[in-house]
Structure 1
Amino acid sequence: MSGYDTQTLADRAEITDLLVNLGRCLDDHDFDGLKDVFTEDVVGTTPAGTREGRQALIDQARRNHESYERLAHQVTSMLVDVDGDAASARAYVTGAFGHADSPEPVRVLVGQYRNKLVRTADGWRISELTVRPVFRVGEPAPAL
């Protein structure tokens, strides 16, 4: 892993920030902020099925997160590969879900994210989101 030029390093940093911002939007219930994370025509495949379009993914995120007052998403083991105006990113995301009355989470999920990204006039955006569940502890995920 050597030979990165300045542009590649800048792209990798922007993509890393984008994925961390995805978790921040979920944690903060900033579902409108997800408009700056996904392309308009994003395709998302999660344990709840495949959704097409930014608003469909935002609606799904809202349904899965808004009833939890305490959320913590951690993005780790990130690998980013940039190829011009396209990129791919692989990361593990641990999400802890809880309620205001207790610091103990009621559910912890670990998933592997495999994303495709594109450079837009507004910066990098996720064009394809794939979530592969790895572990789940606690209450089951809500039915969608």
Structure 2
Amino acid sequence: MRTAAEIEAGLDRADVTEVLYRYASCIDKRDVDGIRVTLADDLWAQYGNVDPIVGGDAVANWIDEGTRECVWQHHLLSVYHVDLVADHATALIYHTSHQVFRASPETVHVLVGRYHNQLRRKADGWKISRLLFEILWGERRVDSTGYLAAVGGSGPQVYPR
């Protein structure tokens, strides 16, 4: 039988995991308000080798600017570890994403990496407070065979805002 503390820890892990998945799905939908809800006001973030960005608003705006020309995006995350100590959590998340941009709609951009995140429990739920995105691989793939058209796809349009 589980103790109350074990049940609480399981619920916290589920809540942290939900925040991490929501962060990525909101990026895919270009839902800047949804992204912002997942981020702490004093967030420190670094994506690859770009300069760190400080502040939840600054990070949400940076993501919005960087994805403005996306026709579609698809993030696949796997949350590997969530470790909890009181109102703090650390998480290791494996990441693979695909993006297609207006300038080259026949090319998909692929990124593979890992997020090393920290989260804090606030009055309104768990928030990402530190985000380090370690980029491990990137490539561009062109549909030179026409396979996408053959299977009847081209992806959705950008979500309205």
TM-score when normalising by structure 2: 0.78
What do you get for the CA RMSD once the two structures are aligned? Answer: 2.3
CA drift at 1:99: 4.4
Q: 2: CA distance between counterparts of 1:33 and 1:69?
A: 19
Deviation by residue 1:26-82 (Cα, 9 ceiling, x = unmatched): 000001112210110000011222011111101111122121121000111421001
Q: 2:86 aligns with which of 84, 87, 94?
A: 84
TM-score when normalising by structure 1: 0.87
| Structure ID, larger Rg | 2
For residue 124 of structure 1, what is the amino acid of its counterpart?
A: W
User: 2:74 maps to which residue?
Assistant: 72
Q: Is 2:55 the partner of 1:43?
A: no
For residue 118 of structure 2, what is the amino acid of its counterpart?
A: K
Structure 2, unaligned stretches of length 5 or more?
142-161
Q: 1: CA distance between counterparts of 2:109 and 2:68?
A: 14
CA drift at 1:105: 4.9
User: 2:121 maps to which residue?
Assistant: 119
User: 1:29 maps to which residue?
Assistant: 30
User: 2:19 maps to which residue?
Assistant: 18
Contact 2:17–2:79 (CA under 8 A) maintained in structure 1: no
Q: 2: CA distance between counterparts of 1:26 and 1:62?
A: 8
Contact 1:96–1:105 (CA under 8 A) maintained in structure 2: no
Q: 2: CA distance between counterparts of 1:137 and 1:37?
A: 28
User: In the comparison of the two structures, how many residue pairs are matched?
Assistant: 138
Secondary structure of 2:69's aligned partner: coil
